[in-house]
């Protein structure tokens, strides 16, 4: 287990790579002869293979080089690539070709994302195709469909317990429906994002079933132990991710009379990537997904994919090596495909997954958490401190900026950043948990705890954007001022994620102020997981009635759509480069975005009081004498101080 080859005996690995490829190529040639692949596209494949093989060999050698069967597995991986290319449609190959030369296509200001559960949004894939006009109306150009594959019966962790990566959940549709949708989306200029849940399979996946039937080959696909000896040793350094589900990280399996590694739910079996057969098998599943027409794969739970005794088994160097190898495979077999990492961990670790060679795109959990933090404290010092050295990323990569998603909020800011601004991280997290569960005096939030660990005091927060921002309470109290404040908070947060640099991602339902749905506890398969409180069904009837009763929804919806439209018309909002400027005020976040000769100053007042920024500060930020607020069309002179209303947001363009 955990075979690695850090100290290789080979002086010149690139020579070994070349020699190995020479030895393997006849096998590949034989394969092409069994297909109808035309020579030019075989040549294109081969030229990418020649380009990326040295990297791929190097990465796989680090992971599996000491295995006696290394050479065999390399051959298999190569064939997996060949087969996938052979199965790739012409249309996707054309997209590949375009993206090879346009590496930064995803940096465009025209990219605006939405994420949804197909069953909750439109019941099935067929009906989703009918709703493309809705995405167009909103300006959504990037659509993340939550896992829609075949799952185990009962609790399936919101689709994250997959029993077959090659078949769609029959309640949602078929692979043919998925491909049809992908075609329609491509035609509409909408990018398709799907999950690649590669840390674990469901306990009823074929491999897990074979393991349960006693097949040793498939028992090696997972981490299975006959007694507590190894699990106990691992536990000494492991964290608990779902402590309310089960203590520890292992689940006893009666049939096998063994312990299985299950980081998340007990029915989600962690895959054993120290076995090259697992790597090859999962790369096969990944390329199958790529060939359905996916543009971006969301790499689920990346932090956990490599285990090593004596460590926390999170963010290990070989986890990166595995992902880089997966990425390199796709450069060869599906070159247009990008990866988005889901690493909801310490910001120092999040950033390590981001590079053109690993994940070109990453969730930005620190920005997410700190925007909520700023809303609670009404101050932006911690947010600024974090942004000042954490926003920048390598070229050809970007952030996905989100406020809510299907998961909980964890306060993953850096304690050292907090210390710089005089905040104690531990106490502050306690405060934020109290605030967002509505237990702090004057809190406007209606969140509920997720995975409260009594032992460590650790807790995360569930709740929809609107409920966390105060709308639920305001509506309940029938208080118009509070309603207005909640809406302003929501729009303020949108205004930042739409402008700060990166791809904004909405969790669908947010656009009409969806509130917590406490009915989830009626469903036994959901009752134990409070994240379901923020995963309600889309209520289309609300949107039909935007005019009268739906005043709040209308206001949120139309303001958001307007902001999305403006973002797309504003070249300064492309890419990532962002410069913080001093607002001279601890309540106003201020930054400049500049691109293609266009320059925008963003001001965001996180306070529930009016706050002032001096004309001098504005002029220093390079605004000149007059500027226009794109959001209100007002023109203002910098000869005077500028007052921002509570929670007011401005996108200022030099006029
Ligand atoms: C990711 C998903 C989450 C799921 C977990 C296990 O974090 O976002 O919903 O519970 O992985 O798959
Ligand atoms: C993720 C994160 C954790 C998150 C969970 C899903 O991988 O590590 O913070 O809450 O899985 O909910």
Other C-beta atoms within 10 Å of 451: how many? 19
Q: Which residues contact 594 (CB under 8 A, 6 or more apart)?
A: 572, 577, 579, 600
Task: Give the residue, by CA position, lying nearest to ligand 1 atom 10.
Answer: 157
**Residue 321 — φ and ψ, nearest 5°?**
-60, -45
Whether residue 544 has pLDDT greater than 90: no
Q: How far apart are CA 332 and CA 96, in angstroms?
A: 10
Predicted pLDDT of residue 179: 97
Which of these, 127, 169, 164, lies nearest to 148 by C-alpha position? Answer: 169
Q: How far apart are CA 43 and CA 336, in angstroms?
A: 17
The active-site residue out of 300, 408, 510, 529 is: 300
Which region holds residue 154: left if phi is over 0, alpha if psi is between -120 and 50, else beta?
A: left
Predicted pLDDT of residue 621: 79
Distance 612 CA to ligand 1 centre (A): 42
Whether residue 187 has pLDDT greater than 80: yes
Pocket test for ligand 2, best of 240, 368, 402, 410 (most atoms within 8 A of CB): 410
Other C-beta atoms within 10 Å of 72: how many? 13
Predicted pLDDT of residue 2: 42
Distance 407 CA to ligand 1 centre (A): 7
Whether residue 11 has pLDDT greater than 90: no
Question: Can you give the three-state secondary structure of 477-545, one letter per residue?
Answer: HCCHHHHHHHHHHHHHHHHHHCCCCCEEEEECCHHHCCCCCHHHHHCCCCCCCHHHHHCCCCCHHHHHC
Q: How far apart are CA 387 and CA 419, in angstroms?
A: 15
Q: Is the CB of 264 under 6 A from ligand 1?
A: yes
Predicted pLDDT of residue 623: 67
Query: Known catalytic residue: 300?
Result: yes
Tell me which ligand sits closest to the C-alpha of residue 412: 2
Query: What stretch of H or E contains 365?
Result: helix 365-377
Mean pLDDT of 535-564: 83
Mean pLDDT of 625-634: 92
Distance 508 CA to ligand 2 centre (A): 20
Predicted pLDDT of residue 616: 86
Q: What percent of the chain has pLDDT above 90?
A: 89
- Is residue 139 within 8 A of residue 112, CB to CB? The reply is yes
Other C-beta atoms within 10 Å of 20: how many? 19
What separation in angstroms does the CA of 199 have from each of 160, 242, 288, 509?
10, 15, 17, 28
Whether residue 29 has pLDDT greater than 90: yes
- Write out pLDDT tens, residues 129-175: 999 999 999 999 999 999 999 999 999 999 999 999 999 999 999 99
Tell me which ligand sits closest to the C-alpha of residue 350: 2
Reported as a pLDDT band with limits 50, 70 and 90, residue 90 is very high
Which of these, 637, 487, 619, lies nearest to 563 by C-alpha position? Answer: 487
Predicted pLDDT of residue 8: 53
Q: How far apart are CA 99 and CA 97, in angstroms?
A: 6
Q: How far apart are CA 604 and CA 534, in angstroms?
A: 26
Which of these, 488, 650, 521, 515, lies nearest to 583 by C-alpha position? Answer: 650
Question: Can you give the three-state secondary structure of 158-187, one letter per residue?
Answer: HHCCEEEEEEECCCCCCHHHHHHHHHHHHH
Q: How far apart are CA 276 and CA 585, in angstroms?
A: 55
Pocket test for ligand 2, best of 159, 238, 241 (most atoms within 8 A of CB): 241
Mean pLDDT of 555-569: 96
Whether residue 9 has pLDDT greater than 70: no
Mean pLDDT of 117-136: 96
Predicted pLDDT of residue 543: 72
CA angle 247-251-253, nearest 5°? Answer: 150
Query: Known catalytic residue: 529?
Result: no
Two tokens, residue 457: 């005091």
Mean pLDDT of 80-91: 98
Lowest mean pLDDT segment, chosen from 6-15, 481-490, 558-567: 6-15
Reported as a pLDDT band with limits 50, 70 and 90, residue 1 is very low
Whether residue 3 has pLDDT greater than 60: no
Lowest mean pLDDT segment, chosen from 163-172, 558-567, 617-626: 617-626
Task: Give the residue, by CA position, lying nearest to ligand 2 atom 12.
Answer: 407
Predicted pLDDT of residue 470: 97
Task: Give the residue, by CA position, lying nearest to ligand 2 atom 11.
Answer: 301
**Residue 460 — φ and ψ, nearest 5°?**
-120, 175
User: Positive or negative, the Cα torsion across 23, 24, 26, 27?
Assistant: positive
Q: Is the CB of 160 under 6 A from ligand 1?
A: yes
Which residues pair with residue 560 across a beta bridge? Answer: none
Mean pLDDT of 66-95: 98
Whether residue 87 has pLDDT greater than 90: yes
Q: How far apart are CA 325 and CA 56, in angstroms?
A: 6
Other C-beta atoms within 10 Å of 226: how many? 10
Determine how β-strand 634-637 pairs with β-strand 626-629. antiparallel
Question: Can you give the three-state secondary structure of 444-472, one letter per residue?
Answer: CCCCEEECCCCCCCCCEEECCHHHHCCHH
Predicted pLDDT of residue 27: 97
What separation in angstroms does the CA of 498 have from each of 103, 113, 400, 578?
22, 10, 10, 13
Tell me the residue length of the chain: 655
Alpha-carbon 552 to chain mean position = 29
Distance 463 CA to ligand 2 centre (A): 15
Q: How far apart are CA 242 and CA 459, in angstroms?
A: 11
Rounded to a whole number of angstroms, the CA Rg of the chain reads 25
Distance 316 CA to ligand 2 centre (A): 17
Its pTM surpasses 0.85: yes
- Write out pLDDT tens, residues 283-341: 999 999 999 999 999 999 999 999 999 999 999 999 999 999 999 999 999 999 999 99
Predicted pLDDT of residue 547: 57
Q: Which residues contact 497 (CB under 8 A, 6 or more apart)?
A: 367, 371, 401, 402, 403, 504, 505
**Residue 433 — φ and ψ, nearest 5°?**
-65, -40
Distance 644 CA to ligand 2 centre (A): 36
The number of C-alpha atoms within 13 Å of 53 and in the hemisphere containing its C-beta is: 24
Task: Give the residue, by CA position, lying nearest to ligand 2 atom 2.
Answer: 344
Mean pLDDT of 244-272: 95
DSSP 549: T
Q: Which atom of ligand 2 is nearest to the CA of 301?
A: 7
> What average pLDDT does the chain have?
95
Whether residue 26 has pLDDT greater than 70: yes
Q: What percent of the chain has pLDDT above 70?
A: 97
Distance 161 CA to ligand 1 centre (A): 9
Task: Give the residue, by CA position, lying nearest to ligand 2 atom 8.
Answer: 344
Whether residue 267 has pLDDT greater than 50: yes
Give SS3 for 62.
helix
Q: Which atom of ligand 1 is nearest to the CA of 407?
A: 9
Tell me which ligand sits closest to the C-alpha of residue 368: 2
The active-site residue out of 285, 314, 342, 407 is: 342
Q: How far apart are CA 381 and CA 418, in angstroms?
A: 9
Pocket test for ligand 1, best of 116, 157, 532 (most atoms within 8 A of CB): 157
The number of C-alpha atoms within 13 Å of 391 and in the hemisphere containing its C-beta is: 24
Start-to-end CA distance of the chain, whole Å, equals 64
Of 251 and 596, which is predicted with more confidence? 251
**Helices assigned H by DSSP within 65-150:** 70-86, 90-101, 118-122, 125-130, 132-138
Whether residue 424 has pLDDT greater than 90: yes
Q: Which atom of ligand 2 is nearest to the CA of 531?
A: 12
402, exposed or middle or buried, with CB in 10 Å at 0-12, 13-18, 19+? buried
Q: Which residues contact 103 (CB under 8 A, 6 or more apart)?
A: 356, 396
Which residues pair with residue 649 across a beta bridge? Answer: 604
Predicted pLDDT of residue 546: 61
Task: Give the residue, by CA position, lying nearest to ligand 1 atom 11.
Answer: 301
Query: What stretch of H or E contains 629?
Result: strand 626-629
Predicted pLDDT of residue 655: 61
């Amino acid at each position: 287990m955990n075979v690695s080859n850090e100290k290789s005996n080979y002086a010149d690995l690139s020579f070994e790579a070349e020699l190995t490829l020479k030895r393997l190529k006849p096998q590949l040639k034989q394969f092409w002869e069994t297909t109808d692949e035309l020579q030019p596209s075989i040549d294109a494949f081969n030229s990418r293979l020649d380009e990326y093989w040295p990297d791929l060999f190097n990465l796989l050698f680090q992971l599996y080089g000491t295995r006696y069967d290394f050479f065999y597995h390399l051959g298999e991986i190569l064939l997996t690539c060949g087969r996938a290319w052979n199965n790739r449609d012409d249309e996707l190959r054309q997209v590949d070709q375009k993206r090879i030369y346009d590496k930064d296509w995803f940096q465009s200001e025209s990219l605006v994302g939405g994420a949804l559960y197909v069953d909750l949004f439109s019941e099935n894939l067929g009906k989703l195709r009918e709703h493309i006009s809705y995405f167009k109306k909103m300006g959504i150009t990037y659509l993340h469909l939550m896992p829609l594959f075949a799952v185990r019966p009962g609790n399936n962790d919101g689709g994250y317990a997959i029993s077959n990566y090659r078949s769609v959940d029959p309640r949602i549709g078929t692979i043919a429906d998925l491909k049809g949708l992908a075609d329609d989306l491509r035609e509409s200029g909408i990018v398709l994002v799907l999950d690649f849940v590669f840390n674990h399979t469901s306990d009823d996946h074929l491999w897990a079933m074979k393991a349960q039937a006693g097949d040793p080959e498939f028992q090696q696909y997972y981490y299975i132990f006959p007694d507590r000896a190894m699990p106990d040793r691992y536990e000494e350094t492991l964290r608990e991710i779902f402590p309310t589900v089960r203590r520890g990280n292992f689940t006893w399996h009666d049939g096998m009379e063994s312990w299985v590694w299950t980081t998340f739910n007990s029915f989600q079996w962690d895959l054993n990537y120290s076995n090259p057969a697992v790597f090859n098998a999962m790369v096969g599943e990944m390329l199958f997904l790529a060939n359905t027409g996916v543009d971006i794969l969301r790499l689920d739970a990346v932090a956990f994919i490599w285990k090593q005794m004596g460590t926390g088994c999170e963010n290990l160097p070989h986890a990166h090596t595995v992902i880089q190898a997966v990425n390199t495979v796709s450069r060869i077999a599906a070159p247009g495909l990008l990866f988005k990492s889901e690493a909801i961990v310490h910001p120092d670790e999040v950033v390590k997954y981001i590079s053109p060679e690993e994940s070109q795109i990453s969730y930005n959990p620190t920005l997410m958490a700190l925007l909520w933090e700023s809303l609670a404290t009404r101050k932006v010092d911690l947010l600024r401190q974090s942004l000042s050295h954490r926003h920048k990323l390598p070229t050809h990569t970007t952030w996905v900026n989100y406020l809510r998603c299907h998961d909980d909020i964890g306060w993953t800011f850096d304690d050292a950043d907090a210390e710089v601004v005089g905040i104690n991280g531990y106490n502050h997290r306690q405060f934020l948990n109290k605030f967002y569960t509505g237990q702090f005096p004057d809190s406007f939030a209606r969140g509920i705890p997720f995975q409260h660990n009594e032992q460590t005091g650790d807790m995360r927060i569930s709740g929809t954007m609107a409920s966390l921002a105060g709308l639920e309470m305001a509506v309940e109290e029938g208080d118009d001022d509070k309603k207005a404040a909640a809406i302003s908070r929501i729009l303020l947060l949108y205004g930042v994620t739409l402008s700060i640099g990166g791809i904004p991602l909405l969790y669908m339902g947010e656009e009409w102020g969806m509130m917590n749905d406490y009915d989830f506890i009626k469903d036994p398969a959901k009752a134990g997981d409070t994240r379901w409180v923020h995963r309600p069904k889309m209520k289309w009837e609300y949107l039909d009635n935007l005019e009268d009763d739906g005043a709040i929804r209308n206001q949120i919806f139309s303001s958001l759509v307007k902001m999305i439209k403006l973002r797309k018309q504003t070249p300064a909002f492309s890419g990532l480069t962002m410069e913080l400027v001093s607002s001279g005020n601890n309540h106003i976040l201020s930054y400049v975005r500049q691109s293609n000769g266009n320059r925008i100053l963003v001001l965001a007042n996180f306070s529930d009081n009016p706050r002032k920024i001096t004309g001098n500060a504005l002029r220093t930020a390079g605004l000149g004498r007059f500027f226009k607020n794109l959001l209100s069309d007002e023109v203002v002179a910098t000869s005077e101080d500028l007052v921002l209303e509570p929670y007011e947001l401005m996108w200022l363009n030099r006029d």
